[in-house]
Amino acid sequence: NSNFKLNFSGLTNDGLSLIERYVDTTGDVQTASLIVLHTLPSQVCKDPRAKNWVASYRDLLDTWMLWKQRAMFDVNWFSKNTLVHKPSQQVFVSCNFCRRSVSNSFLYRPSDGTRNAQTPLSANRKITCCPGCRKPLPRCSLCLCHMGTPSGLHWQRQIDTGSERKKLSDFSDWLTWCQTCRHGGHSVHILEWFK
C-alpha cells in the first residue's frame, strides 16, 4: 500500500521518490503538490521534484481557468513557506503628471510618534490628489469622483495601546480597471458595470 509506505518513510528523500513514482504512474500533480503544501515549512519545497510538481499544478489550474483555486493555493503556499521569497509587488499606482508613486503616501511609516510628510493624519482620511505634485488623482469612469482611498494594507496606530496593526481598506473603494479598455474606477462601480 503506497499510503502506508509514505507514512512509514515520512517525507524524506525516499518519501519523495515514492511520490515521484506515483506522479510518473498517474500524472496526478495535484496530490503531490498538496502533500508538499501540507509539509510546509520544510526543506521538501527546495527539492527540484517538488518544485516541478507545484509549478505543473499551478500551470494546470491556469489552463483550466481555475484562477480562484490558483490564488488560494498561492496564498497558502506563500503564507506557509518561509523558505521561498514572496513575489514582489507587480502593480503600482503612479501619478499621471509627476510619475511618483501614489501608493507610498498611504503607508504608515512607524516613527517616534511625530508626524512627517508620509504619515497620514488618520486611517479614514481620503486623499484625492498626488502627494508629490498635488494634481488630482484620476476620476472614477462611472461616478466621476476623484479616486482617493488607498487599496491594500495600510498601517494604523492604535491610540490607546500605542501599538500598530494592519488594516485592509474597503474593497469597494479600491482602484480597479479593465485590462481591455483601460477604464478604471472604484471597484464597486466597475463590478456593477460589468454585471
The predicted pLDDT at position 162 comes to 53
Q: How far is CA 125 from CA 71, 89, 157, in A?
A: 31, 24, 14
For residues 5 and 56, the model is more confident at: 56
Compute the distance between CA of residue 91 and CA of residue 29 in angstroms, rounded to an integer: 30
For residues 67 and 128, the model is more confident at: 67
The predicted pLDDT at position 52 comes to 95
Mean pLDDT, the chain, whole residue set: 75
Task: Judge residue 39's burial from the number of C-beta atoms within 10 Å of its C-beta, 0-12 exposed, 13-18 middle, 19 or more buried.
Answer: middle
The three three-digit cell numbers of residue 161, written as one number: 495601546
Compute the distance between CA of residue 168 and CA of residue 181 in angstroms, rounded to an integer: 27
For residue 138, pLDDT over 80 is answered with yes
Does 48 sit behind a cis peptide bond, omega within 30 degrees of 0 on the bond before it? Answer: no
Count CB-CB contacts under 10 A for residue 76: 14
The predicted pLDDT at position 4 comes to 46
- Model confidence at 2, pLDDT cuts 50, 70, 90, reads low
For residue 175, pLDDT over 70 is answered with yes
Return the top range by mean pLDDT from 29-33, 91-95, 115-119. Answer: 29-33
For residue 109, pLDDT over 80 is answered with no
Q: What is the mean pLDDT of residues 158-162?
A: 53
Return the top range by mean pLDDT from 24-38, 107-121, 164-178. Answer: 24-38
Q: Report pTM.
A: 0.48
Q: What is the mean pLDDT of residues 111-138?
A: 62
pLDDT digits (tens, 9 = 90+) for 37-93: 988 878 888 899 999 999 999 999 999 999 899 999 998 988 887 766 666 666 667
The predicted pLDDT at position 149 comes to 57
The predicted pLDDT at position 25 comes to 93
- Model confidence at 184, pLDDT cuts 50, 70, 90, reads confident
Grouping H, G, I as helix, E, B as strand and the rest as coil, residue 135 is: coil
